[in-house]
Amino acid sequence: MSTGKPIIVLVKPQLGENIGKAARAMLNFGLTEMRIVDPRDGWPNPSAGPTAAGADSVLEEAQVFATTAEAVADCSHVYATTVRKRGMTKEVLTPAEAADDMGSASGKCAILFGPERSGLEVVDVELSRKIITVPINPKFGSLNLAQAVILVAYELSKMDTIGTVQPTVDKKKKEPAPQIELDRFYEHLERALEGTGYFFPPDRAPATKVTLRNMITKPAWTNEEVQTWRGVISSLEKPFVKK
């Protein structure tokens, strides 16, 4: 059930116990909407309940998705938590800066947390508009899943972004397009470029595609802007007929 508060997305979590601990951390600071992507041990997981320590409502309402893209399809602002910037040209925020950013955002916000052992994969980070990272010990950058959730949730509670006071939104400013529209935009662009031989040489194609996707997810495109650009692409795909 959507509450208007930031959504916590656990991507490929491995242990049910850690999902329960994450739910407990969420409810400690008023976050209630959890989405789970492809959990290793399936869902529901009996190991999650005991470690949730009373946060059963979060687990009961949790939604499960096959892919990260599906989990954030209706979200206008996607943040990826990672200690590695992975060479991507995305804005990097601390948890406090991210809380401030979400406090002034319109549309749904989602925060991605990766699996315990490896963290988020590049394909997941590509979906995000911004990255959240914590300046922890560079020689030991391992955080437990629940620890990562509680760090972000705590900063959100300090900024009152999950309390009763809602951020002031400029009604004249149009909401950013949800992630699913950006995905369709990118897929349309990639199909059009494939037909022109743009992705050459082949060995550079993967890196070029990552750059293009980052360019599309970086700005806060509105639905109108996305549809306008798709119209441009569709027009360019048609053979030109001189009248």
Cα(203)–Cα(205) distance, rounded to whole angstroms?
6
Instruction: Please choose, from the candidates 63, 91, 68, the residue with its C-alpha nearest in 3D space to the C-alpha of residue 179.
Output: 68
Report CA-CA distances (Å) from 15 to 21, 45, 116, 232, 239. 10, 9, 8, 46, 54
Two structure tokens written together for 75:
């979200």
Q: Over its length of 243 residues, how does the chain's per-residue pLDDT go in tens digits?
A: 445 789 999 999 999 999 999 999 999 999 999 999 999 999 999 999 999 999 999 999 999 999 999 999 999 999 999 876 555 678 899 999 999 999 888 889 999 999 988 889 988 998 999 999 987 877 776 778 999 999 999 999 886 544 433 444 444 457 788 888 888 888 888 888 888 888 888 888 888 888 888 888 776 788 888 888 888 888 777 765 454
For the chain, what are the domain ranges?
7-158, 179-237
The dihedral formed by the CA atoms of 184, 190, 192 and 194, expressed in degrees to the nearest 10: -150
Q: 223-237 and 179-194 are packed helices; what angle lies between their axes, rounded to 10 degrees?
A: 20
Q: What pLDDT was estimated at residue 73?
A: 95
DSSP string, 187-228: HHHHHHHHTTT-S-SGGGHHHHHHHHHHHHHSS--BHHHHHH
Mapped onto helix, strand or coil, the DSSP state of residue 230 is: helix
Cα(109)–Cα(118) distance, rounded to whole angstroms? 24
Residues present in the chain in total:
243
Question: How many angstroms separate the most distant Cα atoms in the chain?
Answer: 72
- Residue 2's pLDDT is 47
CB atoms within 10 A of CB 54: 10
Distance CA 189, CA 192 (A): 5
Asked whether the whole model's pTM tops 0.75, one would answer no
For residue 211, what pLDDT is reported? 84
Query: Do the strands 63-65 and 109-113 form a parallel or antiparallel pair, or are they unpaired?
Result: unpaired
> Residue 82's pLDDT is what?
87
The pLDDT value recorded for residue 162 is: 45
Per CATH, the homologous superfamily of domain 7-158 is SPOUT methyltransferase, trefoil knot domain (3.40.1280.10)
Q: Which two tokens stand for residue 224?
A: 């109108």
